[in-house]
Amino acid sequence: MDSYFEQQAARWDTPARIRRARRIAQEIRLRAGVARCRVAMELGSGTGLVGFALADCAQTLILSDPSAAMCAVLRAKAAAYRGPAAVRVCQAPPGRLPDPPAPCGLIFHSMALHHVRDLGAALRQSCQMLAPGGCLCFVDMEPVSRAFHADHPDFAGYDGFDQAALRAALEKAGFSGVRSAAFLRDQKVIDGRAHPFTLFWMCGTKP
Ligand SMILES: C[S@@+](CC[C@H](N)C(=O)[O-])C[C@H]1O[C@@H](n2cnc3c(N)ncnc32)[C@H](O)[C@@H]1O
């Protein structure tokens, strides 16, 4: 496993990331427009900054991440969680979601898809795990330069996404009603140098 996230997990929750995650969770809630569903799942949950903010969307919420250290943080937060959902944590292989106990009403993720190598397989798996009418909704970033991941030596993912190409990939994976839009500009500072980036949300429905 990529050691970057193993090293980052314990210090991931900075005030800036917490603020941004709140905004991302708001956007996913708005765009997915799901009433409370039986099962929701998140890919690449990290420390759950977005996942716990959306926990009230499901009776059972499954948070997954390939990093053991991220999952350790998730388990500690799940043990302290007193909200309305049953929260389960699962360490899943990269690019894969765990098997849900029932078809999902919502699958979501934030800044995780650009780490997934086989995009088509991940999108097809999400489509298979959704109930008919269920929604995939995620946030990721528009194209950035390679320098954006200069602080992450093992990075082997995508330098952001072209929205139109990614919408086409969702349609190819079986989603309908695919839509997306940019909603937030932010910046990442590496060695004193600011790298601006733009986040977009994208949603598709399982027919
Ligand atoms: C940029 S962090 C985002 C964390 C969290 N979703 C958030 O918004 O705060 C990316 C997360 O994706 C996970 N990840 C890395 N490669 C992955 C892969 N191939 N499939 C799924 N998750 C992955 C990492 O362990 C990390 O927790």
Give the domains, in start order, of the chain with CATH numbers.
3-205 (3.40.50.150)
> What does the alpha-carbon distance between residue 146 and residue 199 come to, in Å, rounded to a whole number?
17
CA of 35 to the centre of ligand 1 (A): 26
Classify burial at 106, counting beta carbons within 10 Å of its beta carbon; exposed 0-12, middle 13-18, buried 19 or more: buried
**Rounded (10°) CA dihedral 45, 51, 55, 61:** -10
Mean pLDDT taken over the chain: 96
Q: Which helix (H) or strand (E) holds 20?
A: helix 15-32
Confidence of residue 35 (pLDDT cuts 50, 70, 90): confident
pLDDT at residue 139 greater than cutoff 70 = yes
- Residue bearing the CA closest to ligand 1, atom 4: 46
Q: Are strands 58-65 and 86-91 parallel, antiparallel or unpaired?
A: parallel
Per-residue buried b or exposed e for 2-39, using 16+ beta carbons within 10 Å of the residue's own CB: bebbeebbeebbeeebeebbebbbebbbebbebeebeb
pLDDT at residue 24 greater than cutoff 70 = yes
Q: Kindly state if the Cβ of 160 falls inside 6 Å of ligand 1.
A: no
Query: 0.85 exceeded by the pTM?
Result: yes
Mean pLDDT, residues 14-37 taken together: 96
pLDDT for 57-93, tens place per residue?
999 999 999 999 999 999 999 999 999 999 999 999 9
With a pLDDT cut of 70, the percent of the chain lying above it is 99
pLDDT at 6: 95
pLDDT at residue 117 greater than cutoff 80 = yes
Radius of gyration of the chain (CA): 16
* 157 within 8 A of 119, measured Cβ to Cβ: no
Q: Kindly state if the Cβ of 43 falls inside 6 Å of ligand 1.
A: yes
Confidence of residue 8 (pLDDT cuts 50, 70, 90): very high
pLDDT at 1: 58
- Position 159: which residue type? D
- Residue bearing the CA closest to ligand 1, atom 5: 46
Confidence of residue 153 (pLDDT cuts 50, 70, 90): confident
Q: Kindly state if the Cβ of 21 falls inside 6 Å of ligand 1.
A: yes
